[in-house]
Amino acid sequence: MNDYSICIGGQAGEGINKAGLLIGRVLGLLGYQVYMYYDYPSLIRGGHNYAILRCADHEIGAICGKPDIVCALDQETVNRHGEGAVLIYDADVAKGEGIGIPATTIIREEGGAPIARNTVLIGALCRAAGVPPEILGEAITKEFGKRSEENLRLALRGYHAAEERMQIPIQKNDSLPLLTGNDAIALGLIRGGLDAYVSYPMTPSSSILHTMADLAQGTPLLVLHPENEIAVITMALGLSYAGRRVAVGTSGGGFCLMTEGVSLAGMAEQPVVIVMAMRPGPSTGMPTYSSQGDLSFVLHAGHGEFPRIVIAPGTTEEAYEWSARAMHLAWQFQVPVFVLSDKNLGEHPKSTEIDPAFPVPVASVRSPRGTYARYCNTPDGISPFYPPPLTGNVVKVNSYTHDDSGITTEDPGPAAAHAVKLIRKGATIENEMAYYGCLRVDGAEDAPVALICFGSTGEACREIGERLSLRVIRPIVLEPFPLAQFADALAGVKRMIVIEENATGQLDSLLRGYGIIADRRISNVSGRPFFLDELELKVRGVMQ
């Protein structure tokens, strides 16, 4: 199999992310599947930023250990990543054993912007990897558009200053678009019928807001950026009351401020989709890194008891499809629905093929007959829903315990009936979700040893499962937990290893609550994803 890794590094403000995307375009045009990991501190300038791009002739979604090629815009990148790789560096600012390109001098001679040094080194990278200049030119044209002529000139200066050191052969595959999980979530929400998106920017969910703002131009889609997260959730619930299909986006610290609003949605039975992108905590933690430490928080956020749905997609394709479904499910059941993500899914581009015509059911509005009772008690716990104005009726919603019409009550009979109604709705949701494929099984599907994971760790676990002939079971829906589907997936399993990116084993604890006891657990709390080589060693270690 053809499988290569390329690293480009420098300081914040030197365009490392943009450079990584350009390299990704080159690799895609060569016919490869691409996955990019972008590592950056919470700094506007300085620090050490780098991107690792892995390309292969098969589906990938994780990164390996040491890169094959390193492009260094500074000495720090040479020192950290250069050993054992084909090293390409700006010889005006760094020293190393490899291909030194006077990128700073070339920029000065060509009158280019200093940030374009990365383009010079990418040109040299293409020569070193045996990439035809025509493919480099096509990638630059697609990435830079009207600014492609200047960037191509700079890239060709780097190309002709380098020498070939290896050959990344061309594959006979079509180039797939590079999408991040956040891109896919935005497109999926829109595919699901989104009318309004409300968010206060908070890494790693911020780019959803930016994407929505771009996509909304010239459309009826409403995109709002209020002053804080409390305003976000309350504004969203107001839009929901008015009949708008609405979603919000946040991360852990912002979601803390939303939890009372989540309880309000539960009591008032107002549909809303909440995209919750996890990052390391507590408090500010490491805002530009990743974690799976908020699973328990999302499963239990809000006071009181009310049903919810929690979805944790593990690939960009799933992020698209399940975000679309989330819109439908929120309105079908009139509950908060969570799309649980993190930086490793949300911010890292991957070769993705999505179906723009992906079929999504549209929840029908249960129109009232006669006098409208918003919270009418029904056998399935789902009441008629109709937004104002409604001729001859007052449309009431209530955060207090209420009767069928939405009138506040503390009488024991109606209060108990309302509580039972919410529990009955939860049972309905659980029954209905049985018709969805709420988990995924990869690797050797009949193996006696199973890796259990959720969310963004799934792709690394899938590849390890394929390497070591292990079964990989990944629930996508975590609430209501797909117990029957999970039991079927476990048939024949003798040993279970839970893999997650938190310290306390939150998925492991969830499974224990259903009587599913794992044999071993592998944790990662570094804020970085599992590297394949590292994870393979850990899995082999616990299997001994």
Instruction: Specify the CATH number of the domain 3-161.
Output: 3.40.920.10
Of residues 429 and 1, more confidence is placed in 429
Q: Is the pLDDT of residue 356 over 90?
A: no
β-strands 86-90, 69-72: how paired?
parallel
Q: Tokens standing for 34?
A: 């691409």
pLDDT tens for 273-319 read: 999 999 999 999 999 999 999 999 999 999 999 999 999 999 999 99
Averaged pLDDT for residues 254-269: 97
Cα gap 5→2, rounded to integer Å: 10
Instruction: Specify the CATH number of the domain 439-543.
Output: 3.40.50.920
Q: Please return the burial class of 188, using the count of CB atoms within 10 Å of its CB with bins 0-12, 13-18 and 19+.
A: buried
pLDDT, position 390 = 83
Q: Is the pLDDT of residue 445 over 70?
A: yes
Cα gap 134→27, rounded to integer Å: 13
pLDDT, position 362 = 77
Q: With contact defined as beta carbons under 8 Å apart, do 58 and 26 qualify?
A: no
| Secondary structure in 3-state letters for 355-389 | CCCCCCCCCCCCCCCCCCCCCCCCCCCCCCCCCCC
| Gyration radius (Cα) of the chain, Å | 25
Residues facing 495 on adjacent strands: 449
What does the DSSP 8-state code read for residue 146? Answer: G
Residues facing 5 on adjacent strands: 54
pLDDT, position 365 = 62
Average pLDDT, the chain: 95
For 475, residues 6+ apart whose C-beta sits below 8 A from its C-beta are 312, 438, 439, 454, 481, 482, 486
Averaged pLDDT for residues 324-340: 97
Averaged pLDDT for residues 230-243: 97
Of residues 282 and 43, more confidence is placed in 282
pLDDT band of residue 516 (cuts 50, 70, 90) is: very high
Residues facing 12 on adjacent strands: 46
Q: Is the pLDDT of residue 190 over 80?
A: yes
What does the DSSP 8-state code read for residue 85? Answer: S
To the nearest 5 percent, what fractions of the chain are helix, strand and coil?
A: 40, 20, 40
pLDDT band of residue 364 (cuts 50, 70, 90) is: low
Backbone φ and ψ for 475, nearest 5 degrees, come out as: -65, 135
pLDDT, position 372 = 87
Nearest to 303 by CA among 274, 275, 264, 330: 264
Q: How far is CA 195 from CA 10, 241, 242, 320, 323, in A?
A: 40, 13, 11, 17, 14
pLDDT tens for 124-173 read: 999 999 999 999 999 999 999 888 999 999 999 999 999 999 999 999 99
pLDDT band of residue 369 (cuts 50, 70, 90) is: low
Q: Is the pLDDT of residue 368 over 80?
A: no
Pinpoint the residues of the chain covered by CATH 3.40.50.970: 178-351
pLDDT tens for 84-106 read: 999 999 999 999 999 999 999 99
pLDDT tens for 396-416 read: 899 999 999 899 999 999 999
Write the single-letter amino acid at 332. Q
| Secondary structure in 3-state letters for 31-83 | CCEEEEEEECCCCCCEEEEEEEEEEECCCCCCCCCCCCEEEECCHHHHHHHCC
End-to-end CA distance of the chain: 28
Pinpoint the residues of the chain covered by CATH 3.40.920.10: 3-161
CATH number 3.30.465.10 given to 178-351: no
Q: What is the pTM of this model?
A: 0.96
pLDDT, position 366 = 58
Pinpoint the residues of the chain covered by CATH 3.40.50.920: 439-543
Residues facing 442 on adjacent strands: 472
